[in-house]
Amino acid sequence: MAGNGFMDKTDINFIEAAQSGFDFYDGTKWESNANQPTLYTTIGSDVAAINSLPLLTEAVAIPMGIKPGTSSEYTFTFSDIASFPQSAMIYLEDLKDNTITDLRANNSYVFTANPADDPARFMLHFKPGVQVEVADQDCDNAGSIEVVQSSSTVWSSYNLKDNNGNVYAQGTNFSGSFTVNGLQPQEYILTLTHTNGYIAQEFITVNGTSVVSANITVSATNVQVDEAVNFTATVNNATELVWNLGDGTIVTGTNTVQHTYGANGTYNVTLTAQNDVCNDIAYKTIVVGATTGIADTDASALKIYGQGNHLVVEYSNVLNNKANISVFNMLGQKVESFTGVSTLNGRSEIMLTNIKPGYYSVQVIAGNQVVNQKIYLNAN
């Protein structure tokens, strides 16, 4: 503060190790010389030159006093406001003049004071900004952002965008929390508008790996011996491709493969797409020779999931009471195989004993339904 040809100051800090009472991080204020102003805050009954509080996680009101020494005009100047998160709100309340000043909009305050005034004239109000929790993208899950605002602040509107202006969340009268899932690695901008017109922006980065996805399309799923089948891969973020055509043939490094089969039978084709961190496996079943009525089916026709050390399959429409179930690891290797599994009552449940926790692909052939699905199994 400045006035009457003199200056004085008081410090307020928010430190993780500090306590709300007077402690090692605080300092006592000594009164200035006669006719000179004294500026201080109070901690209980203690008068402080340095007032250190715990990190700002809830609304805090700090009494601030002045003993002017002489009747005069004085000016407060508040520094380091920018060190707080943009969404934190900071106000000065003048209890004598009954005014509230938004210190983000104006970091100075001019007033008159005289020695007869009540020295406990001011209150500094701090309201915490939004708390942001980020979950980075990994091989199996997209990223997410959770935004939490304490009830002490209500924003009239908010929106979350990327640098291209794409909107991922927006709303009005925000207090509490919201979560946005399915986010790709990049920077996002959270814009918050207060009822007083103040606009805060928080810049949030979601990091993560490049998730791999793979899919196979084929020219035909039912062919005759020596009839050519054309396989095409649609992949994202993969640097390596490995085809296993189900008859011992391995092909690498290409998005398209043409192949013929030399014997009747059912061949399970896998495409493993991977980069340095992630992989994905796509599947197709090729029937060579007499048609068997087997066809690919949408995954929604069957529900496949792990339950403890059991693999569970629920059937929506089964024409017989037997199923063949195979479990593949992420390298495309078959690690478990079960034939003639009962599907009575629309459900199969199999105990797994030789599988470590992790992601697997499960293939179920039941009646005329063939489903391949990637799931997490925690059997051991």
CATH number at residue 260: 2.60.40.10
Residue 370: is its pLDDT beyond 80? no
Q: Which of 268, 293, 318 is the last residue of a domain?
A: 293
Tell me which residue range forms the domain holding 222: 210-293
Structural domain count, the chain: 4
**Does residue 61 sit in the same domain as residue 106?**
yes
**Does residue 271 sit in the same domain as residue 180?**
no
**Does residue 109 sit in the same domain as residue 145?**
no
Q: Which residues on adjacent β-strands are paired with residue 24?
A: none
Report d(CA 86, CA 189) in Å as an integer. Answer: 12
| Domain harbouring 161, CATH code | 2.60.40.1930
pTM of the model: 0.59
**Does residue 30 sit in the same domain as residue 66?**
yes
Burial zone of 231 (CB within 10 Å; 0-12 exposed, 13-18 middle, 19+ buried): buried
| % of the chain at pLDDT higher than 70 | 93
Band of the pLDDT at 150, cuts 50, 70, 90? confident
Q: Which of 55-59, 60-64, 69-73, 107-111 has the lowest mean pLDDT?
A: 55-59
**Does residue 285 sit in the same domain as residue 269?**
yes
Q: Which of 127, 142, 162 is the last residue of a domain?
A: 127
Band of the pLDDT at 295, cuts 50, 70, 90? very low
Q: Residues 3-62: pLDDT tens digits?
A: 999 999 999 999 999 998 999 999 999 999 988 999 999 999 999 999 999 999 888 999
Report d(CA 215, CA 366) in Å as an integer. Answer: 22
Band of the pLDDT at 291, cuts 50, 70, 90? very low
Q: Residues 317-326: pLDDT tens digits?
A: 655 568 888 8
Q: How far apart are the first and last CA of the chain?
A: 69
DSSP string, 215-270: EEEES-SEE-TT--EEEEEEEES-SEEEEE-SSS-EEES-SEEEE--SS-EEEEEE
